[in-house]
Amino acid sequence: MSTTDGPTPMPGAKAAQAAANRQAAEKNPSTSADAAHKTGWFGRWNEKWQAMPRQKQWLYLIAIVAVAYLLPILNPPILSTEPGNDFPLALFSMAVYALVAVGLNIVIGYAGLLDLGYIAFFAVGSYTAAMLTSPDSPFIKVPYLWTLPLAIVVAMCIGVILGIPTLRLRGDYLAIVTLGFGEIIRILATLIPAMKGQVGFQNVGRPPGMGEDGIPVFANSNGTPWYWLTLTILIIVLLLAGNLERSRVGRSWIAIREDEDAAETMGVPTFKYKVWAFALGAGVGGMSGALFAGQVGFVNNQKFDVVTSILFVAAVVLGGVGNKVGAVFGGALVAYIPLRFTAIAEYKYLIFGLALMLIMIYRSKGLIPARNRLLAYGQEAYARVRNGPPKKPAVATEKEV
């Protein structure tokens, strides 16, 4: 600004500006206090949850996980999607969407990078699994379970290749490049003979195991084992994502999201961490794709519509941008609603498109607003501050607080 002010001294201008700055800075607490009142039930749950001791939290978590594993057996009538859709398969679909949302949340929620072509990484994972296990493919075959890590690696590589030119630039470029890529991957699958266009790959591999009746445990129509496998992977990914969140990596991402220039000035290698976020997100997307390909057993170019990408974004936004538990919830919800309420399934794109707009305009923190905890041992430190009075007297500036 000093260059545009011109040489004339402007008495008082600085003071006025500083006063305005100050006003702007102090205006914030009141608005956020309002927001705190509006958090609703989820917010209250969140507060209660935070106040619980660690052991109690673990107990609850174990109970929730146990219920989640039992769901396909319990098949509770209120939740069940039957008779319209097989419930275990619906659960698998929800778990895959949840996994996708958790992965996309790393990109959008943590690092604040809008990836609109996440389906592309999902597709890359699916094709990796299909081309390395299906008898229709001329390539070497590997056991299905190997394709899960391979899908992660391939998707991550493509994420890096795509991310390097675009992540140096402003966020909107990334959005449109990924949107384009989401569409291009489908066209490439059509144009490249090795990817077999609409014919696709039949009999994609499955994990080993044979039932007593001679039907594979992981048969395409048997949703329960696929659901359990995906749920297990989802839990592992959630734990790992939590580890990242409460580390310098998570802090760097959130700092980039909040103010990229300030983050860079504070010594955060912003480009590096953006590429990491993009690549890790791509990896999770790739793995979800491989799981999906395994369960469905068939992969062709019709399965990867770029509009599904927007549903993925809706899943993240619905749950609350940046919140991994919210992402699980949002992902499951986006998969569940059209399967449970088949009458409105036709309108799902419209519904979730509207949800995107309305949530962003009126409730940009999503349905489950939660703040990321970014320090591994933060809770202890905050507890110490709350419990023991500060050792030193507050200075004059703090009196107003």
Partner 1 sequence: MLSTVLTAVPADSDWINFDVNALAQNFWSATFDGLTFGAIYALVALGYTLVYGVLNLINFAHSEVFIMGCYGVFFTLSFLGFGPSAPNLSFGQILINIILALIAAILAAAATAFLVERLAYRPLRKRNAPRLVYLITAIGASFVIQYLIFLWRGPLPEPALTMFIPTPIFEVFGTIIDSQQIIIVVAAVIMMVIVDQFIRRSRTGRGIRAVAQDPDTATLMGVNKEKIIVTTFIIGGILAGAAALFYVMKIPSGVQYNGGFILGIKAFAAAVLGGIGNVRGALLGGLLLGLIGNYGQILLGSSQWTDVVAFVVLVLVLLIRPEGILGTSLGRSKA
Partner 2 sequence: MGAHSESVPVSENAGGESPIELIEPMEVTEAVADAAAPEREIDVAVGDDLVEVKNLTVKFGGLVALDNVSFTIKRGEILGLIGPNGAGKTTCFNAMTGVYKPTSGQVLLEGGLLNGMKQHKITRAGLARTFQNIRLFGEMTALENVAVGLDARHKTSVVGALLRLPRHKAEERSAIERGMALLEFVGIAEHAGSLARNLSYGSQRRLEIARALATDPKLLCLDEPAAGFNPAEKEDLMALIRTIRNDGYTVLLIEHDMKLVMGVTDRIVVLEFGKKIADDVPSVIREDPKVVSAYLGEPEDDFA
Site string for partner 1, 236-275 (x = CB under 8 A): ---------------------x------------------
374 binds, among partner 2, partner 1, none (CB under 5 to 8 A by kind): partner 2
Is 380 a binding residue for partner 2 by CB under 8 A? The answer is: yes
**To the nearest whole angstrom, how small is the minimum distance from the Cβ of residue 246 to partner 1?**
22
Residue 119 to residue 121: CA distance in whole angstroms: 5
**To the nearest whole angstrom, how small is the minimum distance from the Cβ of residue 349 to partner 1?**
4
223: its two tokens: 């949703």
Contact 171, 113 (CB under 8 A): yes
397 binds, among partner 2, partner 1, none (CB under 5 to 8 A by kind): partner 2
248-287 residues in contact with partner 2 (CB under 8 A) are: 248-252, 254-255, 257-259, 261-270, 276, 280
141-170 residues in contact with partner 1 (CB under 8 A) are: 154, 157-158, 161-162, 164-166, 168-169
Is 344 a binding residue for partner 1 by CB under 8 A? The answer is: no
21-80 residues in contact with partner 1 (CB under 8 A) are: none
175 binds, among partner 1, partner 2, none (CB under 5 to 8 A by kind): partner 1
Site residues for partner 1 per CB under 8 A: 108, 112, 114, 116, 131, 138-139, 154, 157-158, 161-162, 164-166, 168-169, 171-173, 175-177, 179-181, 183-184, 187-188, 190-195, 257, 306-307, 310, 313-314, 317, 321, 346-347, 349-350, 352-357, 360-361, 364
